[in-house]
Structure 1
Amino acid sequence: MVFSSLLFIYLFFAVTMFIYCYVGTIQKKNVVLLVSSLIFYAWGGPKYLVLLLLMALISWFSALQIHHFRNNLLLKRLCLVIGIGLQLALLGYFKYAGFILENVKRITGFPEVIPEIVLPIGISFYTFQLISYVVDVYRQEVEPQKKYWLVLLYCSLFHQCIAGPIVRYKDVAREIEHRRPKIPEIGRGINRFTIGLVKKAVFANSCAQIADMMLPEAVIRFNSVPALGLWLGALMYMLQIYLDFSAYSDMAIGMGLMIGFHYKENFNYPYISNTVTEFWRRWHISLSSFFRDYVYIPLGGNRKGEKRTILNLFIVWALTGLWHGSSWNFVLWGLYYFIFLVLEKKILLKKIEHLPKAVHHIYTLIVVYFGWIIFKFTDLSRVGLMLKGMFGLNHNGFISLEVAMTFKNNIFFIIVALIACTPLASNGYKWMCRQCKTVAVFKYLRRVIEIVGPVFLLMLATMALVGNSYNPFLYFQF
């Protein structure tokens, strides 16, 4: 079940919210959320619900023991290592065991048969949440939760369990047991949810269809795509992955606001960045901040000299790539960004600092554009074919009638999709809100937008989803 499905919107979420609003106390509301979240998770794989229950139990018990031995550093650290070690071992088995065995087989020829291990939905996200909870208790930044079922609620909450954002316990600890949503926040939540829904159902899905047309899975068809088709396909994939993932975060944040949870922003218009460093401050913020606070800084950050700083960055970006999937292209993608971040820090920013901002922006977009090509293809040979074809080395020409017609038929959509990746519409709305105090017509227009807007967006998304079976979220695979 995905957020952008009619089943979720008009049945699961509607019924959950109706029951949630009907029950009285916060404890009963939490029970409703927990039951609905477990049903939501089990929908995608009932047998892996046991794994989620187990990992929540490990973190709950580890945090309690860490707190119990808070005055005994040795036992406290032992509980931390065991707790996190078990979490990472489970994540490693389900996500990386097959990958490791495949590489061992290439070198040694053994084992003959590699078992197929299905990746549990959302395991990368809820594992990191549970690790951050245990570490924060160890650092005494938050008190341990004495009730197991509330730790389970924290990591399984259907808003953000299977595709983020990665929510830290200390950011929602108080809201789990003491929250009271305000009417304006509920309105903001509904608006944010419908914006994310349209971003996914209308924009991301349409970008995906064009990207898949220009970058087909079949190698024979892929090799026949002319250069402009490959450039167009990579552009549409670049738009798709942002619109898809940020849409999920928008909907998660919106649903949280509707019931009193305040999840932090996960995207801040990354494609307007002027450096690669800035891009990663704006892209998937919850993941970047996790690696910064729980890997980079504990390794020493930039406090132990230049060589150690570079090593720490290398480790972080290798892990960032590997987090996204058990394939060498993801590792290469992470190290690709490591190289540019180090180059920026040491050379590039000093070389281009006097150039116009437009040059900075174009440079950043080029780096990100080619980065997504590495990210997309788990088969690295296809990355090579893609790059050769883009520069006319596959001998398929520059353009074909199919590519020309696809571009011509979708030119206005592409322009609107590009605008949707910028804060232009958001800034326009904020400007209008500032004018409400002095211009009466803007005041009435704002009211109309706030009332009619979510209804219109919901109808638009519904029309896009009716009969459309192509509706995956990219980050479900991670």
Structure 2
Amino acid sequence: MVFSSLIFLFIFLVIHLVVYSLVKIEYRNAVLLVSSLLFYSWGGPQYLLLLVGDTFVSWLCALMVERAQTPQRKRLFLVMACVALLGVLGVFKYLDFILGNIGSLFGVPDLVIGIVLPIGISFYTFQLISYVVDVYRGEVHAQPAFWKLLLYSSLFHQCIAGPIVRYETVQDEIDNRHVSPTDVYYGVRRFCIGVAKKAVLANSCAAVADTLLPIGSEGVFTQVTTGYWLGMVFYMLQIYLDFSAYSDMAIGLGRMVGFHYLENFNYPYMAKSVQEFWRRWHISLSSFFRDYVYIPLGGSHCSKERYVRNIIVVWFLTGMWHGASWNYILWGLYFAAFLLLEKFVIRGRLPKVPAHMYALVVVLMGWVLFRFENFGEMGAALVGMIGLAGNGFTSLEVHTLFLQNIFLLVFCIIACTNLGKWLHHRLFVAAKRNDAALLVYSVLEAVTPPVLLILAAIALSGASYNPFIYFQF
């Protein structure tokens, strides 16, 4: 089950919120836990055992770390937890990849196992690692109640698609949450923005990108130059709108019941450098690698050679985290190269507009590496984008598709900026001084969530629905 499904929106979530609101405060964590376990087991009850097992190991090792009397014993239990968690992740996510590469090189084994990847395993594994490490560092206390740690690791708000929530962010709110009507409204509004962003915008962008650049099809090799560029621009928009939509929904769901998750995206396509892009993109993942890999390796307070090593290690792991395929590793190292280029060569000397254009182009080309696991398709797209594929510059099909989706394109570009947030704030400020502005603000605040939810429901009930198709040339 995913947030952007009718079953979740109108059955699971409704039942959960009704039951949650009706029970006494002392039973609400139990309702959250049961709902989270049901939600997670929807995609395969057998993987629930894996989640529970990883959480139990983390719970036990964290208690042992806190009770240990010597640094050596603390370190032992920390290592045990990390080895167990990363070992399970490695088997389920990377064993097939490793065996497949060994087979390609040496001819054995002949058969790849075909392990199914449990949903959300990368997210809850990193959350549990951060929990045990933070207990080891003395930054949080070990949770004495196993079921409360299980609630933290399995919260359906974020256990499948993030953000990666640190235990320190929610440790107090697990036991002490105070929900005001403002919290509920903000949570509902943020959730509706996220589900509409996913169902209406991201899915529509995906449809255009898949039409122009169909993976696993000859169409990738026969596309014209403008088709490659238009397809990748829509994919660039899709991947941000998709990822950020799930974070919006998670933050909204948490806020409805009193959890305050940190922001995970901060308009990354407004960045003026690759470094700034990664400060704005998937913030919870970037901060995880910064705090638990980069800084322990020495960060930037070391020799030039070690700094380069640290960057390469972090971005190799970042690529690996995104998927068990060489293109993701290449994608991670690609960004490592540009971060080093900015550190030692560019050094922030580009003017604002060229810097912004440079960052967008670098990120766009990076998404080419991210999209295509097949290196033949990736090469065809890269060659085609520079006009060397021999398929022509443009075509009637691409021209027509562009005109049909021009308003979608414009709206999605605007949605990737802070223009909407800025206009909302300006209206809020005006509403404090002007009765007419107050009326407009109040009406918009009242109708925005239901309108967005209706649009999302329509889009989800008909996969081909695109409201922008009615505004075309």
Tell me if both proteins adopt one fold, taking TM over 0.5 as the criterion.
Answer: yes
Q: Which residues of 2 match residues 322-361 of structure 1 at below 5 A?
A: 322-352=320-350, 355=351, 357-361=352-356
Paired AA for residue 41 in structure 2: A
The corresponding residue for 2:244 is: 246
Per the alignment, residue 182 of structure 2 pairs with 184
SS across alignment from 2:222: coil
2-side partners of 1:467 and 1:108: how far apart?
48
Asked if structure 1 preserves the Cα contact closer than 8 Å seen for 2:271 and 2:359, the reply is yes
* 1:390 counterpart residue number: 385
Following superposition, the deviation at residue 380 of structure 1 comes to: 1.5
Amino acid at match of 1:112: D
> Structure 1 unaligned runs (5+)?
472-478
Q: Per-residue deviation at 1:441?
A: 1.3
* Counterpart for residue 202 of structure 2: 204
Contiguous gaps of at least 5 residues in structure 2: 467-473
In structure 2, C-alpha distance between the alignment counterparts of 1:170 and 1:469, rounded to whole Å: 42
Pairing 1:267-286 to 2, within 5 Å after superposition: 267-286=265-284
Question: How many residues align structurally?
Answer: 466
Are the counterparts in 1 of residues 131 and 166 from structure 2 also a CA contact under 8 Å?
yes
Q: What letter matches 2:288 in structure 1?
A: F
Q: Whole-Å Cα distance in 1 between the matches of residues 225 and 464 of structure 2?
A: 29
Equivalent residue, structure 1, for 2:470 = none
Distance 2:369 2:348 in 1: 27
- How far off its partner does 1:223 sit? 1.6
Structure 1 residues 127 and 212, CA gap change in structure 2 (3 angstroms): same
Change (3 A) 1:82 1:230: same
Partner of 2:120: 122
CA contact (8 A) 1:205 1:470 kept: no
Q: Match of 1:363?
A: 358
CA distance in 2 between partners of 1:351 and 1:45 (Å): 52
Q: Which amino acid aligns with 2:395?
A: S
Q: Report how far residue 469 of structure 1 moved.
A: 8.3
Quote the residue 1:100 is aligned against: 98
Question: Separation in 2 of the partners of 1:263 and 1:235?
Answer: 30
Aligned partners of 1:201, 1:370: CA distance in 2, in Å? 25
For residue 437 of structure 1, report the CA deviation from its aligned partner. 2.0
Deviates more, 1:301-310 or 1:111-120: 301-310
1:92-135 Cα offsets, whole Å, 9 max, x none, are 00000011111111222111211111000000000000000000
Mark the CA change 1:141 to 1:469 in structure 2 (over 3 Å): closer, same or farther: farther
1:426 and 1:270 mapped to 2: Cα distance?
Answer: 14
Equivalent pair of 1:197/1:251 in contact (CA under 8 Å): yes
Aligned 1:83-94 pairs, distance under 5 A: 83-94=81-92
1:310-367 deviations in Å (ceiling 9; x for gaps) = 1111100000001000111000000000000011011113542xx3x11110000000
State the partner residue of 2:148. Answer: 150
SS at match of 2:140: coil
1:474 is matched with which residue? none
Moved more, 165-174 or 107-116: 107-116
Deviation at 1:392, TM superposition (A): 2.4
C-alpha distance in structure 1 between counterparts of 2:266 and 2:348, whole Å: 25
5 Å-filtered alignment, 1:16-27, equals 16-26=16-26
Letter in 1 for 2:14: A
* 2:214 aligned counterpart, secondary structure: coil
Residue of structure 1 equivalent to 2:471: none
State the one-letter code of the partner of 2:374: D
The question of whether the paired residues in 2 share the 8 Å contact of 1:194 and 1:251 is answered with yes
Q: Residue deviations 1:169-200, cap 9 Å, x none?
A: 01100000110111111111111000111100
> What is aligned with 1:433?
428
Is 1:450 aligned to 2:448, yes or no?
A: no
Q: SS where residue 378 of structure 1 aligns?
A: coil
Task: Compare 56-65 and 442-451 and name the one that shifted more.
Answer: 442-451
Give the distance between the partners of 1:64 and 1:278, measured in 2 at CA.
38
String of CA shifts for 1:411-448, please: whole Å, max 9, x gaps.
Answer: 11110111011010111000111122222211121211
Judge conservation of contact 1:67–1:138 (CA < 8 Å) in 2: yes
Amino acid at match of 1:447: S
Aligned mates of 1:25, 1:441 — CA distance in 2: 40
Q: Which amino acid aligns with 1:428?
A: L
Return the offset for 1:470.
Answer: 10
**What residue is the counterpart of 1:320 in the other structure?**
318
One-letter code of the match for 1:65?
Answer: M
User: Following the alignment from structure 1 to structure 2, what is the Cα–Cα distance between the partners of residues 243 and 467?
Assistant: 19
Q: How many angstroms apart in 1 are the aligned matches of 2:284 and 2:62? A: 22
For residues 405-444 of structure 1, the aligned pairs below 5 Å read: 405-444=400-439
- Whole-Å Cα distance in 1 between the matches of residues 127 and 215 of structure 2? 34
Task: Give secondary structure in 1 for the equivalent of 2:297.
Answer: coil
1:63 aligns to what? Answer: 62
Taking the aligned partners of 1:350 and 1:423, their CA distance within structure 2 comes to 23
Q: Which amino acid aligns with 2:18?
A: F
Mapped pair 1:462 → 2:461: no
Aligned partner of 1:476 in structure 2 is none
Counterpart amino acid of residue 38 in structure 1: L
In 1, distance between residues paired with 2:318 and 2:410? Answer: 31
Q: CA contact under 8 A between 2:64 and 2:77: conserved in structure 1? A: yes
Cα separation, 2, equivalents of 1:334 and 1:108: 27
Q: Which residue of 1 aligns with 2:15?
A: 15
Percent of pairs with identical residues: 53
Write out aligned runs for 1:284-299 (5 A). 284-299=282-297
* Correspondence for 1:33: 32
Q: Answer with 377-386 or 273-282: which moved more.
A: 377-386
**Cα-to-partner distance string for 1:73-101 (whole Å, 9 max, x where unaligned):** 11110000001110000000000001111
Instruction: Give yes or no for contact 2:458–2:465 (8 Å, CA) kept in 1.
Output: no
Shift of 1:285: 0.1
Please state whether the residue corresponding to 1:219 is helix, strand or coil.
coil
Other structure's SS at 1:223 match: helix
Please say if residues 320 and 329 of structure 2, whose CA atoms lie closer than 8 Å, have aligned partners that are also in contact.
Answer: yes
Counterpart residue type for residue 233 of structure 2? L
Contact 1:203 1:240 in 2 (8 A): yes
Q: 1:470 to 1:309 in 2, by over 3 A?
A: farther
